[in-house]
Amino acid sequence: MPQTPDRSPAPPPQAAWPAAILFDFDGTLIDSAPDILTGINRLLDEENLPALDLGQVHQFIGDGAPTLVTRAFAATGRPLAPDSVPAMTDRYMAIYEALPADPSCVFPGVAETLAHLCAHIPLALVTNKPERATHAVLQAIGLNSYFKAVVGGDTLPTRKPHPGPLLHAMAQLGAEPARTVMVGDGANDVTAGRAAGARVVCVTYGYPRMPVEELGADRLVDHFHELPAALLDLSVG
Ligand SMILES: O=C(O)COP(=O)(O)O
Ligand SMILES: [Mg+2]
């Protein structure tokens, strides 16, 4: 019997969830700049130095606590000697960790979207904020249960933009880089994500130090609610 050719159309490619999603913290999930400003200004006040404003602190966040403290002192006109940075960073972290984090610092749409995504996909937090403070803030704002792994700026010898922390999180989640998406707000997230072999989504409301359109992300989202659609559109699963 002659074979009739199968003329049924090929099924449309299925949009798929990533195997894992890695999230940046400051500027992506939480508006931490007001608390960071309070902590920095208390430290500067102890040192008899003038206070900074929120706009300055926005520019100093994202490269970890020692760099934040270094930039803050430099902005007052009294830069720190390099050998004073570790002790001054410890003092800053003690002040910051004593500040009660308020759930209102969570950006709109974040809690509901993480709750939705974590039902499908393992999630990790990869931040340059020191790990102990990260856990304390996560606990205080009620987001801790969504993450299967948390990598802080002092968890490993390297931090973003090095890919090491992202690869460490992927190994903990058992996810291949090519099927993983990094979600962040700045150049460190894009550089680290690319170097780790992941795709990158950036939010447009965070603390980037350059226009977000120039960061080189695969997708931009203006609101966290748009993230699931952007992830399905990337279809890296
Ligand atoms: O610089 C920091 O301390 C934290 O920044 P990140 O959460 O955006 O990595
Ligand atoms: Mg950030």
Phi, psi of 64 (to 5 degrees): 95, 165
Nearest listed ligand to the Cα of residue 134: 1
Q: Are residues 143 and 62 in the same domain?
A: no
* pLDDT at residue 4 tops 90: no
Q: Are residues 164 and 91 in the same domain?
A: no
Q: Are residues 140 and 72 in the same domain?
A: no
Q: Are residues 168 and 194 in the same domain?
A: yes
CATH number at residue 117: 3.40.50.1000
Helix (H) or strand (E) holding 123: strand 123-126
Mean pLDDT, range 27-49, rounded to an integer:
98
Mean pLDDT, range 144-156, rounded to an integer:
98
Is 78 inside any structural domain?
Answer: yes
Nearest listed ligand to the Cα of residue 39: 1
Structurally, how many domains does the chain consist of? 2
Is 206 inside any structural domain?
Answer: yes
Alpha helices in 16-146 (DSSP H): 33-46, 54-60, 65-76, 85-98, 110-117, 131-141
Alpha carbon 117 to chain centroid, angstroms: 16
Please report, for residues 23, 40, 64, 75, 103, the alpha-carbon distance to residue 196 in angstroms, rounded to integers and kept in the order given. Answer: 14, 32, 19, 33, 31
| Amino acid residing at 224 | F
Q: 75 C-alpha to center of ligand 1: Å? A: 19
Of residues 12 and 132, the one with the higher pLDDT is: 132
| Position in ligand 1 atom list of the atom nearest CA 134 | 7
* pLDDT at residue 179 tops 70: yes
Is 10 inside any structural domain?
Answer: no
Buried b vs exposed e over 8-41: b needs ≥16 C-beta within 10 Å? eeeeeeeeebbbbbbbbbbbbbbbbbebbbebbb
* pLDDT at residue 184 tops 80: yes
| Position in ligand 1 atom list of the atom nearest CA 206 | 8
- Of the pLDDT bands very low, low, confident and very high (cuts 50, 70, 90), residue 120 is confident
Which among 52, 71, 98 is the end of a domain? 98
Span 60-119, pLDDT tens digits = 999 999 999 999 999 999 999 999 999 999 999 999 999 999 999 999 999 999 999 999
* Nearest by Cα to 196 from 221, 216, 214, 171: 171
Q: Are residues 114 and 219 in the same domain?
A: yes
CATH number at residue 93: 1.10.150.240
Q: Are residues 67 and 167 in the same domain?
A: no
Residues constituting the chain: 237
Q: Are residues 159 and 228 in the same domain?
A: yes
Q: Are residues 120 and 214 in the same domain?
A: yes
Is 2 inside any structural domain?
Answer: no
Nearest listed ligand to the Cα of residue 128: 1
Residue with tokens 């996560």: 138
Mean pLDDT, range 206-215, rounded to an integer:
95
The complex's ipTM works out to 0.95
* Nearest by Cα to 17 from 155, 137, 123: 123
Q: 65 C-alpha to center of ligand 1: Å? A: 8
The one-character DSSP state at 209 is S
Q: 126 C-alpha to center of ligand 1: Å? A: 9
The answer to whether residue 154 is catalytic is: no
Is 8 inside any structural domain?
Answer: no
Q: Is 65 in the pocket of ligand 1 (CB under 6 A)?
A: yes
Q: Are residues 129 and 27 in the same domain?
A: yes
Is 13 inside any structural domain?
Answer: no
Of residues 235 and 213, the one with the higher pLDDT is: 213
Binding residues for Mg(2+), as ranges, are: 24, 26, 185
Which among 81, 98, 115 is the end of a domain? 98
Which among 56, 81, 98 is the end of a domain? 98
Between CA 96 and CA 236 the distance in angstroms is 38
pLDDT at position 7: 54
Buried b vs exposed e over 186-220: b needs ≥16 C-beta within 10 Å? bbbbbbbbbbbebbbbbbbbbbbeeebeebebbbe
Six token digits for residue 188 = 């460190």
Pocket test for ligand 1, best of 61, 126, 131 (most atoms within 8 A of CB): 61
The per-residue pLDDT of the chain, averaged, comes to 94
Domain of 40? Answer: 33-98
pLDDT at position 236: 86
The one-character DSSP state at 142 is T
| Position in ligand 1 atom list of the atom nearest CA 185 | 8
Q: 30 C-alpha to center of ligand 2: Å? A: 9
Is 5 inside any structural domain?
Answer: no
